[in-house]
Amino acid sequence: MKSAMKLIANNKKAFHDYFIDEKYECGIQLFGTEVKSVRMGKCSIKEAFVRIDHNNEVWIYGMHINPYEKGNIFNKDPLRVRKLLMHKTEIIKLASKIAEKGYTLVPLQVYFKSGLVKVEIGLARGKKLYDKRADIAKKDQRRELEREFKVKNLY
C-alpha cells in the first residue's frame, strides 16, 4: 500500500540560507479546524523555526495556519506555538547536535502522508555570503546549460 504524499508548504529559503545535513519527519499536534485549513493549503512556514525546550519537547514557532472560514469559535491563534511529535531518542540526538556550535533546526516542508499532517525538519548549518553566491552561480550556470540544450534540440 503506497502512502501518498501531498505537499502543502515548503521552505525554499531554508535551502538558500542553510546547509541541510540531516532530515527528520515528525508529526504535529493540531486542532480540527487547523487540519481543515491545512487541507485547503492555507499554511506557511517561511518565517518558522524549531526549538527543543528543557523538557525534551520539540516546538515549532512562527508557523502560520489561516483560521478556518467556518470554524467560528473553534479557531485558534494562527501563529500559536505547536508541538512536534518525535521519538525521545531522536529528540535527544538532535539536542546534542544543536549544542554544537552552528547547528539549528529548520522546518523544510509540511505535507499529508496517509491522511496525517507531517512536518519535515532539517538539522542545518548556516551559510556564509560566499557560499550563497556560489550556489547562485551554480544555478545560473545550470539554467544556461538547459537553455542552450533546449535551443539545440529545437533545430
pLDDT tens-digit readout, 56-84: 898 999 888 888 777 777 677 778 898 99
Q: Quickly state the pLDDT bin for 87 (edges 50, 70, 90).
A: very high
Task: Classify residue 142: in a domain, yes or no.
Answer: no
Structural domain includes residue 46: yes
pLDDT of residue 46 exceeding 70: yes
Q: Within a domain: residue 133?
A: no
* Residues 119 and 105: beta-carbon distance below 8 Å: no
Domain harbouring 98, CATH code: 2.40.280.10
Q: For residue 113, is it within any domain?
A: yes
What does pTM read for this prediction?
Answer: 0.75
Residue 110 lies in a domain: yes
Question: Is residue 145 included in any domain, yes or no?
Answer: no
Cβ atoms 37, 72 nearer than 8 A: no
Q: Looking at the domain assignment, is residue 100 inside a domain?
A: yes
How many angstroms separate the CA atoms of 148 and 105, rounded? 38
Range of the domain at 62: 5-127
* H/E run at residue 6: strand 5-10
Secondary structure (DSSP) of 118-135: EEEEEEEEEPPHHHHHHH
For residue 154, is it within any domain?
no
Q: What is the pLDDT of residue 2?
A: 53
Cβ–Cβ under 8 Å, residues 126 and 102: yes
When pLDDT is cut at 50, 70 and 90, the band that residue 1 belongs to is very low
Phi, then psi, of 6 in degrees rounded to 5:
-110, 110
Look at residue 155 in the predicted model and tell me its pLDDT. 64
- Percent of the chain, pLDDT > 90? 12
Query: Is it the case that residue 3 has pLDDT exceeding 50?
Result: yes
Distance CA 28, CA 51 (A): 14
User: Over pLDDT 70: what percentage of the chain?
Assistant: 95
State the total domains in the chain: 1
91: left (phi over 0), alpha (psi -120 to 50) or beta: alpha
pLDDT digits (tens, 9 = 90+) for 21-40: 889 999 998 888 888 888 88
